[in-house]
Amino acid sequence: MSRLIVVSNRVPVPSKDGGAAAGGLAVALQAALQERGGIWMGWSGESSGEREPGALSLQQKGNITYALTDLTDTDVEEYYRGFANRVLWPICHYRLDLAEYGRKEMAGYFRVNRFFAHRLAPMIEPDDIIWVHDYHLIPLAAELRQMGLKNRIGFFLHIPWPPADILVTMPVHEEIMRGLSHYDLVGFQTDYDLQNFAGYLRREGIGDDLGNGLFDSHGRTFKAGAYPIGIETAAFAEFAERAADNVMVQKTRRSIEGRDMIIGVDRLDYSKGIIQRLEAFERFLTSNPAYQNKVTYLQVTPKSRSEVPEYEHMQKMVAEQAGRVNGAIGTVDWVPIRYVNRSISRNVLAGLYRLATIGLVTPLRDGMNLVAKEYVAAQDPDRPGVLVLSRFAGAARELKGALLVNPYDVEGTANALARGLAMSLEERRDRWSMMMEHLLSHDVSLWCKDFLRDLVAVPSSDGSGAHG
């Protein structure tokens, strides 16, 4: 079996003491790496100032070598904060209004990808399989090909892929698309993203759809497909069951005694629709006054990317809005919105999901959204809660038992909350079983296997044979 090389912007290196349980994606990729042996390479998260970063820092854990590099301050500014998070992230989330183009940032993005390729290439053996993750590293395959590598290289995009009309507003859309054509397999979260990708090739006249998922573009034949990512369903359900004994979960249960809890869990990001969600909760309370003092909404939101101005601004807006609603509707013995700005261990998180009568997941646009899947997996099969889910999350295409909402429609979301809280136990069980069955049969380890199976099987454009 060939070795596996995973490359992603950040790398979940296990801590010395075993640390907090890692997320499902890390667990699945680590399992594949352990089985095949391999390397996980990425940015250390550290800056080397203005000096060229030194050699890769290598750590061996079982069959896996973690290979990390620092980046210079300029690299971090241009590649990470600049192009990746202020151009590609907003564009892929349909936010043309937030994209900030700058030649320097674009050049920095391509430069850092070249740098990654130069650091990675000496470690690669001819029959290694390479799997690149996410929007930070789209041009990596092209750089590796430039250096003569003929390995099988796959790419998975964790975020949405926008329609051509949106993509072409990005000045370097042609280079980005050329970059994708250097992979052997390009994976998207949903069919809808895949259609957007195929639609661009057709519209710009730069590629042919050969059928069977194969495309021809920029002189290469490659495969593109939808690979909806899953979670570690069975393990997460077990965490949730065991979390009943956890002190933090018990304290939370006592603190909501006699009330229903609604839970929202998101990184603080404008794509997650947190502002609109708070508005919907407020609307729900004002249109259904009987629920006042009977429902508590817990929003758990660790800060992210706070050095990017849009995120800093959002942080302020969400805090202000939660404060305003609490001031206007709360009473001396009831705080309608509990807003927590921190990260929580996966065990506790699973226990909190299980306490909540409603999981409220309303991104304005999301590649998949794992919180929706985690909420379902964490439910008590005898008394499951209700998932209220944005139709604009990739997960909405799979989780048919959810109450689907349009997050821009504040009143519609408020009505879904009322419907969810009043739903009969029988309907809750029916909806939940349908979703749980799907999540158990489409978990993250299957996702990983499916992608690698297809990557190995795709006919190679570079004359290299298939190998498993």
Beta carbon nearer to ligand ADQ, 306 or 343: 343
Beta carbon nearer to ligand ADQ, 23 or 37: 23
Q: Name the strands in the sheet holding 260-265, side by side, starting at the edge strand that comes first in the sequence.
A: 337-340, 295-300, 260-265, 358-361, 386-390, 403-405
For residue 218, is it left (φ>0), alpha (ψ between -120 and 50) or beta? Answer: left
Q: Are strands 64-71 and 57-61 parallel, antiparallel or unpaired?
A: antiparallel
Please say if 209 is a catalytic residue: no
Shortest CB 33 distance to ligand ADQ, Å: 18
Residue 298: HSE in the Cβ half-sphere, 13 Å Cα cutoff: 23
For residue 453, is it left (φ>0), alpha (ψ between -120 and 50) or beta? Answer: alpha
Beta carbon nearer to ligand ADQ, 67 or 349: 349
From CA 265, how far away is CA 274, in angstroms rounded? 10
Residues that bind ligand ADQ (CB under 6 A): 23, 25, 158-159, 229, 265-267, 300, 302, 343-344, 349, 366-371, 374
From CA 226, how far away is CA 187, in angstroms rounded? 6
From CA 350, how far away is CA 374, in angstroms rounded? 7
Q: Of 447, 414, 117, whose CA–CA distance to 276 is shortest? A: 414
Tokens linked to 13: 């290196």
Among residues 133, 158, 266, 269, the one annotated as catalytic is 158
Shortest CB 277 distance to ligand ADQ, Å: 14
Q: Of 286, 271, 321, 356, whose CA–CA distance to 90 is shortest? A: 271
Beta carbon nearer to ligand ADQ, 2 or 189: 189
Shortest CB 266 distance to ligand ADQ, Å: 6
Tokens linked to 66: 């973690």
Beta carbon nearer to ligand ADQ, 367 or 401: 367
Shortest CB 24 distance to ligand ADQ, Å: 7
From CA 441, how far away is CA 238, in angstroms rounded? 16
Beta carbon nearer to ligand ADQ, 32 or 159: 159
From CA 102, how far away is CA 439, in angstroms rounded? 42
- Let me know: does 112 contact 71? Beta carbons within 8 Å: yes
Write the DSSP symbol of residue 393: B
Among residues 70, 128, 366, 443, the one annotated as catalytic is 366
Position 116, amino acid = F
Please say if 245 is a catalytic residue: no
From CA 258, how far away is CA 368, in angstroms rounded? 33
Beta carbon nearer to ligand ADQ, 117 or 350: 350
Q: Scanning the structure block, which residue is given the tokens 């979940």?
A: 12
Contacts of 223 (CB under 8 A, 6+ apart): 184, 185, 186, 213, 214, 215, 454, 458
Tokens linked to 314: 């959002």
Beta carbon nearer to ligand ADQ, 59 or 343: 343
Q: Which residues are catalytic?
A: 158, 366
